[in-house]
Structure formats: structure tokens, C-alpha cells
Amino acid sequence: MSPVPLKMEPPSAPSLDPRSGFDAASRIFHSLRPHVPLPPPDRPLSFPAYALSLLPCPLPSHPALVNAATGHAISFADLLSQVRSLAAALRSRIGLAKGHVVFILAPASLDVPALCLALLSIGAVISPVNPASTPAELARLVALSVPRIAFATSDSAGKLPRNVTAVLIDSPRFRSLFDGDGGGVVEVEVEQSDVAVIHYSSGTTGMVKAAALSHRNFIAKVAGFHATRKPKAEAELFLLGAPLFHGMGLCFLLKALASGETTVVMGGRAGVKQMLQAAERYRVTAMTASPPVVVAMAKWPEPLDLEALETITCGGAPLPVAAAVRFMVRFPRVEIRQGYGCTEGGPISWMICKEECRRVRSAGRLSHNVEAMLVDNATGERLSIGQTGELWVRSPSVMLGYVGNEQANAITFDANGWLKTGDLCYFDEDGFLHVVDRLKELIKYKAHQVAPAELEHLLRCLPGIADAAVVPYPDEEAGQIPMALIVPQPGSNLSGIEIMELIAKQVAPYKNIRKVVFTNYIPKTPSGKILRAALRNHAVFNSLSKL
């Protein structure tokens, strides 16, 4: 896949506002962070090779990875040895080659990081998938990315389509792949523009799509994080709270490894209690946490010993201001570094210091090497400071595009490589980004993306339902929950609980419908498209009943 043209426009000094980063001449917002140089784009370079170049020599003596539940640790030297052995075995024994797409359908473990780095080093394309996905969901993802093979567990492999071969991570066969020394295998030349990862996203509208991200995308992400590191006498202990199949989780794992930090890895079924116990036990200095985790920490009924904790990076969904304030009162020494990003665009904005973290109503300032515009959807006019419009961004972290979906690419990108995020935002006079609303139809449940169109299709297939719409409903713990508006067929006795149970059998738990409201009609355009903006003023919202 060829990358979308990227034409960064340097700001003209006389028209650039140093306070906000806004260039009045081009009407482009520029990052206030120092420019981070990247390797020449035509230089062959895989992400693992770039990450290795950032590590000190000799390698750090502290662990690279720690299993939160067992305490088992892997050193940096052993991790790199595992990567070399796996890379050789994946080519010689599994038959993988450059360009092959590989599903990773497994919860977080100490084996997954080595597997990811080994696959990337031989030019294979990793595609992390939520192990909770249903067989029907996996079938759709397989059709999108056409994986050559899947690495799964005994619990998840049975849900894969029969035409997908699986290697079980929890099997002696997989463990045997670590036995070699990695010698005798010719190095694979990987271009920075080669696809490295396929993530799944619903984008700005519609059903799930396969977003292709390049090695250079990840090089740019990690370079930006690495540039803000502050050298410390003691090693950073980082708790990875985000799942590895999530874009944020994978990005922060790779960042931590490249930065020489010790990463404490949570198991797949770990909840908030297990995360907090791990943070206390290992005296972590930094962690990632979704908004519901921050909410839970602020309300936690028991004392928490988090004296070592300095920063929490919170993203994936909006953090309620009240929850942020409660957290800051309880943990005044801990910085909540909020950020904004997306699967397609990578990290777009975030906070990097205590002063910025006080702006709890914002999503931080533009990240390194990021340009942004605010565009009026009706007129196409570029907007200024304090004006609300759709956020468009350009940066080296922006994806290559959607696999096999040129129609979606044409909608998502303009001719100059601007990514249309589908989010309504504004910048204040200090360059802080504020996310007002989403134009796109996604529901953010505990940082997971839920596409209403997918659930609406399933609902309309149920007997007794004439029409349906799925909308986000605010929830402090989850951020948003999927709520279904149902127009029943005449004579139908289908209850809300029955509807929720029927859908729950077909989708991953985070996609479950958690509220059902019956109504007589759903507002639509003459062509039949749901008027989602009109749903907010729908009479049914005045008489909601929780089922």
C-alpha cells in the first residue's frame, strides 16, 4: 500500500503565534513541541532496528518485562535473544516471510512482546485482535486482512475460521521456537514505508475497517515519546494497563522497551483491583489507564500506597472533569497526562508536564511533528483559535490507509494527506486542544470503539424488531454505553432484557447493549440514513427507562 502524500507546510515566522502555534497565513496549527528529527524516509529501517538503536550500550541491567501476577522477569539481553531466535524460527520453521499478515489473538503475556518484535523484524505484518471477539467478528476481520497464520491460545483458537492455521502460544511447539540462537538466517531488508501493523477501526463512519500502519509510523511515535524523556537515576517502572491489541497499549509497550524502561505486564483478565495491587507491589512510577480506571482509583474504598507513582497517561476516551479533580485531590503528586489520538492518526495531542496537566478540560497540546486544521464542515473554511470545527491532522504517525477500501480512504484523506478525524474540536489561545463532540458515529465504551452500524445490523435481524438505532449514553464509569432505540413490530412481546441477551451472544462483551428504550419511530433522511444529530432531541430521551 502506498502512503498518502504528506506535505508538511513549515510555518512562516511572521504569522505564527508562539502562544498557540497558529499560523494566521496558512491557518494551520503547529506543534509547540521542539521538532523531532526522524531517519531519512528512504533509508531501509524496521521499527525493531530503530528501537534497538535507542537502547544504551551496554544494555540496561534492570528487567525489560515483568509478569505482574507471577513476578517472572525477562532481561533486555534475554528479550533480544528471544527476538533473534523467534525471527529465525518464524522464517525457517513456520514459513513466514515479508508481507505476510499474522493475527495475534492472545491476552498480554511476556511472550507477546518478543513475538511482535520478531515478526516486525522479518517484515511480517502483525494484526493484534481482541481475544474476546466472537467467531462472527473474527470472520469479518479475517476477510479484511487475510492473515497467513494466527498466534492464539487454547481458549481463543477455536473461534478462528477453519481456513486460518493457528499456532498456540501456550503449547510446547511455540516454546520450541525459542530454542535456536538466531544464527544463519539472512537479514530481511524492511522499508520504513512497509506495512508493520494492521489495527481495526470503524474510522469516521460505518463498519469496521483494517487500518494499515507503517514502520515509519511507529518510528515517529516512539521518537516523539523518546524526545520528552527526562533522564533519571533510577529505572522507570511502567505498568501497562492498556491491552496489547489496543493501539495505545501496543504503542506504549514499544515506547517503553525502546526507552529502556521496565514494563510490568498485566494478564488478559486483570481488573482494576489487580492493576492497583501491581502498582503497589512493584512501586511503579508510571502507568497507562483508561478513564474508568482513573475514576475507580479516585473512589477506591481502601488505602492505596502509590508513593512511587508519578504519572498516569489517560486516553482512549474523555475523562470526566469531576473524576479528574477527585483524583488530583486524592493523589496530588500524580500527574494525569491526558491525551487525544486515534487508530488512524496515532498520538495527536498530550500533556508532558505538571503545568499542562492542570488543564483538565483539555486533551493537551499537539504532539511532536503534528500539524492540525479546524475545518467548517459546511463551507470547508479553515477556522481559527477558539472556533469549533472538524479536526484534520497531518504527521508522520498518520496511517498509510485502509486496506482494500479506497472509498473509505477517499473520504478520510484529502489530496494533501490531511486525515479527517471526524471529531469536533477547538484550540484555545494557549494551544490546548479541546474535543467538543464526535462527528463520527463511534461509541467509546471503556476506551473500546463500538460501531453503532454493526449493532444496528444485528438488531434488525432479530424477529420482532421493525427498526433500530444505537446511540451513546453517558456513563461515569464506562464513559459511554451502547443504548438501543427499538421500534417493535406489531404484536411483538420481545423485552429489552431479551434483546440485550440475544445481542450479547453475538458480540464481544464491550459491545454489549446495556440499555434499551422502545419508541414509535427513528428519525431518518429521505434516503433512509439515521439522523443521529436529531436523535439527541428525540422525545424518547425525555422518558428514559433503564432495563
Q: Find all residues with CB under 8 Å of 221, minimum gap 6, and list them.
A: 251, 254, 255, 346, 347, 397
| Residue keyed to cell 433522511 | 525
Cell numbers 527526562 correspond to 230
In angstroms, the Cα distances linking 254 to 91, 121, 197, 219 are 22, 13, 12, 10
Strands 149-152 and 515-518: unpaired
Q: What is d(CA 296, CA 428) in angstroms, rounded to the nearest whole number?
A: 30
Q: Retrieve residue 20's grid coordinates.
A: 498557540
DSSP 413: B
pLDDT of residue 10: 45
Domain ranges in the chain?
445-543
Cα–Cα separations (whole angstroms), residue 395 to 25, 203, 245, 427, 538: 20, 17, 23, 18, 39
pLDDT at 9: 46
Q: What is the 3-state secondary structure (H, E, C) of 206-231?
A: CCCEEEEEEHHHHHHHHHHHHHCCCC
Cβ neighbours for 300, distance < 8 A, ≥ 6 positions apart? 276
In order along the chain (547 residues), what is the average pLDDT of each group of 10 residues? 48 76 96 94 96 92 95 96 94 95 94 96 96 93 96 95 95 92 73 97 75 97 87 83 87 92 86 92 94 89 93 86 91 95 94 94 95 92 95 97 94 94 94 85 82 87 91 87 93 94 94 94 73 68 48
Positive or negative: CA dihedral 275, 280, 281, 283: positive
Q: Which pairs count as long-range contacts for 15-24, CB under 8 Å and 24+ apart, including other chains?
A: 17/385, 19/429, 19/430, 19/431, 20/385, 20/427, 20/428, 20/429, 20/430, 20/431, 21/365, 21/366, 21/427, 21/431, 22/384, 22/385, 22/427, 22/431, 24/384
pLDDT given at position 205: 57
The sign of the CA dihedral 530, 531, 533, 535 is negative
For residues 182 and 167, give the distance between their C-alpha atoms in angstroms, rounded to a whole number. 20
Longest dimension (CA), the chain: 74
Residue with cell 472556533: 387
Class of domain 445-543: alpha beta
Cβ atoms of residues 366 and 29 within 8 Å: yes
In one letter, which amino acid is 208?
V
Cell numbers found for residue 78: 534475554
Contacts for 61 with CB less than 8 Å, ≥ 6 apart: 75
HSE (side-chain half, CA atoms, 13 Å) at 479: 21
Q: Give me the DSSP letters along 477-533.
A: TTEEEEEEEEEEPTT----HHHHHHHHHTTS-GGG---EEEE-S---B-TTS-B-HH
Q: What pLDDT shows up at residue 546?
A: 40
Provide CB contacts within 8 A for 113, sequence distance 6+.
65, 79, 244, 253, 257, 263, 265
Q: Residue written as cell 529465525? A: 88
Q: 454 phi and psi, to 5 degrees?
A: -65, -45
Q: What count of residues does the chain have?
A: 547
370 — phi, psi (to 5°)?
A: -105, 135
Q: What is the DSSP letter of 290?
A: -
3-state helix, strand and coil shares in percent for the chain, rounded to the nearest 5: 30, 25, 45
What global pTM score does this model have? 0.85
Specify the pLDDT at position 5: 47
CB 122 within 8 Å of CB 94:
no
User: Do residues 522 and 468 make contact, with C-beta atoms less than 8 angstroms apart?
Assistant: yes
Q: What is d(CA 397, CA 371) in angstroms, rounded to the nearest whole number?
A: 11
| Closest listed residue to residue 253, CA positions, set 267, 241, 240, 266 | 240
